[in-house]
Amino acid sequence: MVPTAENYDVVIIGGGPGGYAAALYGASAGLDVALVEKYKVGGTCLHVGCIPAKELLETAAVHRAVVGASTFGITAGEPSLDFSVTQQRKQEVIDKLFGGLSGLLKSRKVTVLDGTGTLHGDHLVRVSGGSSGDVELTGDHVILASGSVPRTIPGFEVDGQRVVTSDELLSLERLPASAVVIGGGAIGCEFASMMSDLGTDVTILEALPKILPGLDDDITRVVLQSFKKQGIDVRTGVAVTGHEPHDHDGGTKVRFGDDETIDVEMVVVSVGRRPLSENLGLDGTAVKVSDRGHIEVDEWCRTGEAGVYAIGDVIATPALAHVGFAEGVLAIQDILGEDPVPVDYGRVPWCIYCHPEVSFVGHTEASAKEAGHDVVVSKRRFGGNGRAIILDEAEGMVKVIAEKQSDGTGGRILGVHMVGPWVTEQLGQAYLAVNWEATAEEIAQFIQPHPTLSEVFGHGAFTLTGRSYE
């Protein structure tokens, strides 16, 4: 240990969801915690991820509501968008949450240092380049939570105008008239949906045969139909090969597939994120980094160096804020010697906030079969649900995948995949069902309030018992 360096129970590098959850949870358990952050606590999620993206999607939802107001007899006129107000509100939401998080860290007595942290031998962390100056700390334990940054692709250099990633898109002063979104994953579909609702002509170019990896095929079909109806052009199985900026306007010609081209004002590159591990030092440690840049860990997020953990997007687990929270808690519990249960990555909740919304947990029908399960499924549409019809949002379905019992009824629930109104808020029950390994019969014992959207999941599980009351 370096004698001059202040020692903490835990030093955390990176103040995003993984890092701040570990800091808050560790402090709540009585540990003395230091958190090193080079930008602002909150990380990608708060400043250039979940929160601003969902705020802009909410603007799109309000716009949709105004467009559809006449269905309810309300005359609202043609909506117009002042994107500067939208951006201002987005920033206010971020600032409010940032203030709350900073206050929480302070009240839990977490020492927050502003600067870039690097890890060296003997758990020494050097901090530099920020307002905390050059500082050395040691931690009985160290947690690496440096997160991730957008991936880019050759031939599409990001200039913040013609070619953007999520980082730039979230802060645009105005939306483009037309855009190509490269990559039909979570970011691509959320941005495509938001921009299309707000008037941009959108084309998604996806390299794989399907958009939204991980989603059950029946649910993907509903999303595709809906995107088509909204005017979003989805092209799958196409490779992009480059683009040529126009001379006459700010736009560009994108080349893809077999010599196809499309002229657009903006290209949004959303082809995944890469772990940010190259700025962590790590010399003189036994921490291992994979070829793809992920820090290698075991089930408890322990790296190769005793007492050093890595959590969140910098490790090769689902890149989700709530997975980062769970890993932060897990690492602290392991530090406390509490023998915690590792995260079950195959059964974490996924919520995508495009329109229509998508959410899922556990197996798809195909992956359950691949894993050797004999399955029975129920598919129930929102079209027959009272609340959905009242909302004028009756598009979508809930698919419940269960183990098939010898009498043909559904046993243990293996997965639930949803598309439709507010399904991100409805996944909770399905998440508990899958992770508690509940059977269809057990779920059927519980009453769903009427009229609610959640009846669709409840009845879906109910019908798997072989009977139904509706």
Tell me the catalytic residues. 450
Strand 375-381: give its sheet, edge to edge.
350-352, 357-362, 410-420, 397-404, 375-381
Among the listed residues 23, 145, 414, 444, the single contact to ligand FAD using CB under 6 A = 145
Closest to 34 (Cα-Cα) out of 2, 11, 6:
11
Site string for ligand FAD, 22-51 (x = CB under 6 A): --------------xxxx---xxx---xx-
Question: Which C-beta is closer to ligand FAD: that of 19 or that of 410?
Answer: 19
CB of 41 to ligand FAD, least distance (A): 7
Identify the residue whose tokens are 């358990």. 29
Three-class SS state of 213: coil
Dihedral, 258, 264, 266, 270 alpha carbons, nearest 10: -30
Q: Which does 182 bind (CB under 5 to 8 A by kind): ligand NAI, ligand FAD, none?
A: ligand NAI
Question: Which C-beta is closer to ligand FAD: that of 18 or that of 410?
Answer: 18
Where residue 237 falls (left for φ over 0; alpha for ψ -120 to 50; beta otherwise) is left
CB of 468 to ligand FAD, least distance (A): 34
- A 10 A CB-CB count for 109 gives 9
Closest to 102 (Cα-Cα) out of 187, 42, 150:
42
Site string for ligand FAD, 239-278 (x = CB under 6 A): -------------------------------------x--
Site string for ligand NAI, 332-371 (x = CB under 6 A): -------------------xxx------------------
State yes or no: residue 120 binds ligand FAD (CB under 6 A). Answer: no
Residues 180/254, Cβ–Cβ less than 8 Å: yes
State yes or no: residue 93 binds ligand FAD (CB under 6 A). Answer: no
Residues 296/173, Cβ–Cβ less than 8 Å: no
107 Cβ contact list (under 8 Å, min separation 6): none
CB of 441 to ligand FAD, least distance (A): 32
Closest to 346 (Cα-Cα) out of 283, 397, 296, 415:
415
Q: Which residues in 223-242 contact ligand NAI (CB under 6 A)?
A: 240
Among the listed residues 93, 97, 153, 224, the single contact to ligand NAI using CB under 6 A = 153
Enumerate the β-bridge partners of residue 275.
Answer: 148
Q: What does the alpha-carbon distance between residue 245 and residue 356 come to, in Å, rounded to a whole number?
A: 33
The site for ligand FAD, by CB under 6 A, has a size of 35
Enumerate binding residues for ligand NAI (CB under 6 A): 153, 182-188, 190, 205-208, 213, 240, 270-273, 318-320, 351-353
Enumerate binding residues for ligand FAD (CB under 6 A): 13-19, 36-39, 43-45, 49-50, 53, 116-117, 145-148, 166, 187, 276, 279-280, 312-313, 319-322, 324
